[in-house]
Structure 1
Amino acid sequence: MNLLWLILAVKLEFSLAKTHQFNFTAGWVNANPDGVTERQMIGFNGVWPIPDIHVNKGDRVELYLTNKLGEGIGTSLHFHGLFMNSSYGNANQADGPEMVTQCPIMNGDMYLYNFTVPNQAGTYWYHAHSGSQYGDGMRAAFIIHDEDEPFEYDDEMVISLADLYVDHSYDLTRKFLSRFNPTGAEPIPSNILFNNTMNATLNFEPEKTYLLRFINMGLFVSQFIAIEDHEMTIVEIDGVFIKPNSTDLLSIASGQRISVLVKAKKEDPGRNFAIMQMMDVNMLDVVPEDLVLNRTNYISYNEDYSKPKAFTVPDFKSATNDFYLRPIDEIELLDKYDVQIQFDVRMDNLGDGVNYAFFNNISYTSPKIPTLTTLLTSGELGSNPLIYGDNINAHVLKGGEIIEVVLNNYDPGRHPFHLHGHNFQIVQKSGAYREDKDYPPEEQDSITIPYNESFPLMPMPDYPMIRDTVVLEPNGHVVIRFRADNPGVWLFHCHVNWHVEQGLAAVFIEDPLVLQEREQLSDNYRQICSHGGFINEGNAAGHSDDWFNMDDLPRQKNSLPDGFQLKGYIAFFISTVIGLFGLYTITQYGLQDSIPNDQEVYSRLKSILEENNLNE
């Protein structure tokens, strides 16, 4: 009898579920997000910002995306944080990362993202997963409502945080991945946005409780949020409901979401209040003089009251550490792992002079066809890691295995790592060991504290925090665990998008033979691949006659010659500048009536050499 009631309850649940249809055409729209500089943004149906999507738990989504961005520009969509479980149709083909689970949608083509959200609720977002396009505005919230939420509020507000660049992502990427940027310095944003604008206002009414859903949709910088004279109570992180935790300061990295309850004043306070939005300055290699690091937004109780003044947060040490948060549904530690995968994170230059990012000395390089195509057309060979190439950090996982991923950071930067298709437990998370970016790359090993399984820094938590995006601190380490219970091809990558462009990514190929039973390549999938010039069968190199033939597989550039390190590239660059300066000086000698002072010219050159430690 109990089984009968269960079956009836499930049928009732799905009968009440809705199907939401969206028809979006991506194209360029003139906009001025910060009120300072006009630029083109990627809008849908001629409008930017693109719309937030709200659905209920159990609903189905059919989103038709047509690309009208122009010839040669492909695009795709990822629904950040959604599991895309293949038990509910061809969901893995809706996950979105280009050349991982789909081909790029080329100009004029349409692709259907068709999936169900049966057992997830909370704050998510959707964004382009081709290059750095979401920095051009192709991003918005994806909220899944659940009437069984474990907290109460009167109203909710979705708040997107982002960084803004004046130049298009294509131009920024080209300059970034260049031998003329040998240190790999990330592009510096020109501004930060709050709900796609600056100096935004949230309207509060006395005695109400508000749920504020913060989402960092930026390409690069982590952001901090503080609200004047209002306490924030964290109740959800990355779609996971947690035990309430009060704080005065939020730290939100790219890709992360934090929802907080904020109680309005009981009576009209007679004034308005500031919301401080602050860049994580430690992530910037250079801070331009005109860059405003802190922006002021507002809580307004009455528009007739004057705008509040900015206030100062003395430091960011009081920001909540997610390691010590606890989910409401206490899920015990996955105690014993079956497979441990260690990723050592490094940044270094290859033979073309470009600075790349590496997991275990491999910089992710896209295969000739999507990894999902290889899996779904390989038959029994789908479980053989050799067919996926040695260029994408591919790891084949067996169904049901407990996977431990160890991240050791041999880099002085912060890296928010995001796993597609899963949440994970955070079982170890060190602090930062150094935030001085001027430390020579070749000496990072000596200051990094890698994970030592025999002597962990902290006791393993009984009920670990669970989320889908975690920050790896400078020269520190993070250890995460998850169960391989969602067959599919899942990207694992840094959500600083510049680092993805540098190759900081891996692919988990999970329970491939079960996925073959559940999914087959849709006609639409095959169509957009064919239109883009990609074949629909074969290994990572595009061969189906010999699945182990990796001829013509795209791979990373050759290593630098022995003894030729980053300093050599910098010296070469500075020497070129000095040479050009010398030519300019000689020209001035010839064109001027009076000859400049030799000592003055020599002093200028000597100053350039000393500034760059190149006197030798």
Structure 2
Amino acid sequence: MNFLQRGFFRLATVLLLARCSQAKTVTLDFNVTWVNANPDGLHERKVVGVNGQWPLPVIEVDKGDRLIVNMYNGLGDKDTSIHWHGMFQNGTNNMDGPSMVTQCPVPPGTSMTYNFTIPQNGTYWYHCHTDACYPDGYRQALIVHDKDAYFESMYDDEFTVTMSDWYHELVEDIPFIRVENPTGAEPVPNSFLFNDTVSNTNIPVEAGKTYLLRLINIGAFVAQYFYIEDHTFRIVEIDGVYVDEQEADTLYIAVAQRYSILVTMKNSTDKNYPIVTVADSVLLDTISPTLQLNQTNWLEYNSSAAHPEAVMKVAIASDLVPYDDFKLVPHDRMALLPDPDMTIEVDVIMANLANGAGYAFFNNISYTKPKVPTLYSVLTSGDYATNAEVYGEYTHPFVLEHNAVIEVILNNQDTGSHPFHLHGHNFQVVSRTPSYGASFYDFADGDPVAYNATENPSSSFPAYPARRDTFVAPPQGNFVIRFVADNPGVWFFHCHIDWHLSQGLAMSFIEAPKEIQKQMSLTDSEISVCKAADISYEGNAAANIEDLLDLTGQNKQLPWLPAGFTAKGIIAMVFSCVSAFLGMAFITIYGISGIKQQGETSQVVEREDM
């Protein structure tokens, strides 16, 4: 190392220490309980609150801070957890939050402390990740401020906007995976929320100023279009990744996706302008006449001026043409990753299992949670941790080598779109067919189109691909993503439509398991949570600690339906069985009521014949 290199190294060390010394610890206490709320003004219901309040608190931290959240489960009747959506959790995989993936669920009357450093920047959110719990209100924004953002000096103030779908019933009370719903039609929401209320929200602005709007879809199912009447905006961030400014007028924001946009106000205060959010009705199986698909809120230049209702640009939302996120260029100019060391190709399939209900599959495997959290299997399986068999067939595990380039090819054979989320990483989006815009639904009514490397070779991939952590697979289309396995941990890859996750549309990436073992070990507090939940914390997916390759007793998906059964056939079979059962019951009851007299008469006749 020469003199200049030593000097540079010392300067970098000083700057790093200075930045670390500025970081702070943000400590929050969460008492998670049921509270009542009526956000759409149509129906009061119980929701998951924190410290007796709902909506939940927006968490705001600075890049480099340590976040400590002491969570107590006071729900009384439900397990819970917290996933910090988009956080890489470098070295703290046990803080990621998905139950039975990186931790045991936290049962009522039990506490868990989440403690991790935030080296990232941008717009994120947090939500429950135990069963299907976050649609009941356990979700909110997590904002990481960054004074070094390239656009920091380009705006005067900022606002956070959340959008979501909303149900009037608890998730557990909404019938979904059942034989009466063999097609797996998702429950249609009762309303759509903007900052956890139904409408009429004003964002106060001043003429001529520029504002940063952080947009987050914290819903469970429905994507939403977003635009502001008579305004364009500049996209500067997606899913925590800064991008070169791109002017746009409409966005399509799937569940779990985030955008930051710069909006410059007009110089006049004569009027206020509608902020329009429109639910993607293509996703809805049925639409009630009372369901309000579009919401109007306002950029309020002048509180005394009129607040006009929005005038829809098009007749139906799917005719809106949003900006194609595939075209965005990351501001850091991270180049296309080299050819992959490992390629994982999966097909998305929606089908029925033996109970006649609809499930979701990657390559015919419907994710079924193991008996031991997968991370804990890594930590307690020694040298067997590199063997995917340890993690069970139905967690759909892939063991990734440390620092390998991973390529995932996803072919969507379903007629619906799916927003897929990868924990622990953002990924390069290197291919998607078809693209956003007018062609996005091109394949929905035809045959599925799988990725074809000959027609779309890696030489055609972008030089600087967009990166994000949640990306939408088009109906019966495909996409290709790449990332580097440089973050040892167990990372979930799943559809973020919560109904589809409950149907099993997920798989597990066990990344650098030997490195995980070097970084962490099971703590007494983690073991105590498992014991309180009556869940095993060591061994393979079947909780076998003697023979790690013996998966006898592992949780399994149901058997497949016999060949030839269709959705209509399932319904017909069910109702035929029900009719047959009722018929036999009536015959039995009728027969029992008169069997003695009939029996005696028969015997007499037979004797006479003899």
Same-fold status (TM-score > 0.5): yes
Equivalent residue, structure 1, for 2:596: none
Unaligned runs of 5+ in 2: 1-6, 584-610
Moved more, 548-557 or 568-577: 568-577
Name the SS of the counterpart of 1:422 in structure 2.
coil
Report Cα offsets for 1:309-363 as digits up to 9, x if no partner.
2211225442011111111111111121110000100000000111000000000
Distance 1:324 1:437, change over 3 A: closer
Equivalent residue, structure 2, for 1:160: 162
Offset at 1:201?
1.4
Contact 1:285–1:437 (Cα < 8 Å) also in 2? no
Contact 1:282–1:435 (Cα < 8 Å) also in 2? no
**C-alpha separation in 1, matches of 2:448 and 2:281:** 21
Equivalent residue, structure 1, for 2:533: 532
Contact 2:70–2:113 (Cα < 8 Å) also in 1? yes
Q: Does 1:70 align with 2:71?
A: no
Contact 1:396–1:508 (Cα < 8 Å) also in 2? yes
Contact 1:434–1:475 (Cα < 8 Å) also in 2? no
**C-alpha separation in 1, matches of 2:170 and 2:443:** 26
Offset at 1:580?
12
Contact 2:48–2:136 (Cα < 8 Å) also in 1? yes
Name the SS of the counterpart of 2:140 in structure 1.
strand
**C-alpha separation in 2, matches of 1:435 and 1:68:** 44
Name the SS of the counterpart of 1:342 in structure 2.
strand
Which residues in structure 2 correspond to 1:395-414 (within 5 Å)? 395-414=398-417
Equivalent residue, structure 2, for 1:48: 54
Equivalent residue, structure 2, for 1:37: 43
**C-alpha separation in 2, matches of 1:149 and 1:59:** 16
Q: Does 1:377 align with 2:380?
A: yes
Distance 1:561 1:451, change over 3 A: same
> Could you say what the CA RMSD is over the residues aligned between the two structures, in angstroms?
2.0
Q: Does 1:450 align with 2:450?
A: yes
Residue number among 166, 170, 173 corresponding to 1:171 in the alignment: 173
Contact 1:331–1:463 (Cα < 8 Å) also in 2? yes
**C-alpha separation in 2, matches of 1:477 and 1:332:** 22
**C-alpha separation in 1, matches of 2:408 and 2:415:** 20
Name the SS of the counterpart of 2:514 in structure 1.
helix
Equivalent residue, structure 1, for 2:220: 219
Equivalent residue, structure 2, for 1:248: 249
**C-alpha separation in 2, matches of 1:537 and 1:577:** 44
Which residue type is aligned with residue 274 of structure 1?
A: P
**C-alpha separation in 1, matches of 2:519 and 2:350:** 39
**C-alpha separation in 1, matches of 2:304 and 2:350:** 52
The 4+ residue runs of structure 1 with deviation greater than 4 A are 432-439, 573-582
Equivalent residue, structure 2, for 1:420: 423
**C-alpha separation in 2, matches of 1:490 and 1:287:** 36
Residue number among 18, 24, 29 corresponding to 1:23 in the alignment: 29
Contact 1:276–1:311 (Cα < 8 Å) also in 2? no
Equivalent residue, structure 1, for 2:601: none
Name the SS of the counterpart of 2:27 in structure 1.
strand
**C-alpha separation in 2, matches of 1:479 and 1:368:** 32
Equivalent residue, structure 1, for 2:592: none
**C-alpha separation in 1, matches of 2:365 and 2:109:** 35
Equivalent residue, structure 1, for 2:66: 60
Name the SS of the counterpart of 2:518 in structure 1.
helix
**C-alpha separation in 2, matches of 1:581 and 1:389:** 41
Contact 1:424–1:468 (Cα < 8 Å) also in 2? yes
Which residue type is aligned with residue 123 of structure 2?
A: T
Offset at 1:567?
2.5
Identity %: 45
**C-alpha separation in 2, matches of 1:572 and 1:271:** 61
**C-alpha separation in 1, matches of 2:309 and 2:546:** 69
**C-alpha separation in 1, matches of 2:442 and 2:454:** 29
Moved more, 309-318 or 290-299: 309-318
Offset at 1:434?
8.4
Equivalent residue, structure 2, for 1:298: 298
Offset at 1:36?
1.3
Contact 2:32–2:49 (Cα < 8 Å) also in 1? yes
Offset at 1:207?
1.4
Name the SS of the counterpart of 1:100 in structure 2.
coil
Which residue type is aligned with residue 323 of structure 1?
A: F
Equivalent residue, structure 2, for 1:184: 184
**C-alpha separation in 2, matches of 1:102 and 1:309:** 47
Offset at 1:95?
0.1
Distance 1:5 1:437, change over 3 A: closer
Name the SS of the counterpart of 2:395 in structure 1.
coil
Report Cα offsets for 1:191-214 as digits up to 9, x if no partner.
100000022211111111110000
Offset at 1:435?
5.0
Equivalent residue, structure 2, for 1:5: 11
Moved more, 448-457 or 389-398: 448-457
Contact 1:428–1:457 (Cα < 8 Å) also in 2? no
Contact 2:229–2:310 (Cα < 8 Å) also in 1? no
Contact 1:198–1:297 (Cα < 8 Å) also in 2? no
Distance 1:580 1:155, change over 3 A: farther
Residue number among 383, 387, 391 corresponding to 2:390 in the alignment: 387
Name the SS of the counterpart of 2:394 in structure 1.
coil
Offset at 1:577?
9.6
Offset at 1:232?
1.4
**C-alpha separation in 2, matches of 1:573 and 1:293:** 35
**C-alpha separation in 1, matches of 2:429 and 2:167:** 33
Equivalent residue, structure 2, for 1:125: 125
Offset at 1:570?
3.0
User: TM-score, normalised on structure 1?
Assistant: 0.89
Name the SS of the counterpart of 1:176 in structure 2.
coil
Task: Count the aligned residue pairs.
Answer: 568
Which residue type is aligned with residue 134 of structure 2?
A: Y
**C-alpha separation in 2, matches of 1:520 and 1:498:** 33
Report Cα offsets for 1:85-112 as digits up to 9, x if no partner.
00xxxx1111000100000000010001
Which residues in structure 2 correspond to 1:499-518 (within 5 Å)? 499-518=500-519
**C-alpha separation in 2, matches of 1:13 and 1:299:** 36
Distance 1:384 1:438, change over 3 A: closer
From the CA coordinates, give the structure whose radius of gyration is larger.
Answer: 2
Which residue type is aligned with residue 17 of structure 1?
A: A
Contact 2:377–2:539 (Cα < 8 Å) also in 1? yes
Equivalent residue, structure 2, for 1:607: none
Report Cα offsets for 1:110-139 as digits up to 9, x if no partner.
001110012x10000000011221111111
Report Cα offsets for 1:393-444 as digits up to 9, x if no partner.
10000001000000001100110000000010001011278859997xxxxx
**C-alpha separation in 1, matches of 2:507 and 2:220:** 19
Contact 2:32–2:75 (Cα < 8 Å) also in 1? yes
Contact 2:313–2:320 (Cα < 8 Å) also in 1? no
Equivalent residue, structure 2, for 1:102: 103
Which residue type is aligned with residue 486 of structure 2?
A: D
Offset at 1:544?
0.5
User: TM-score, normalised on structure 2?
Assistant: 0.90
**C-alpha separation in 1, matches of 2:443 and 2:210:** 42
**C-alpha separation in 2, matches of 1:562 and 1:163:** 37
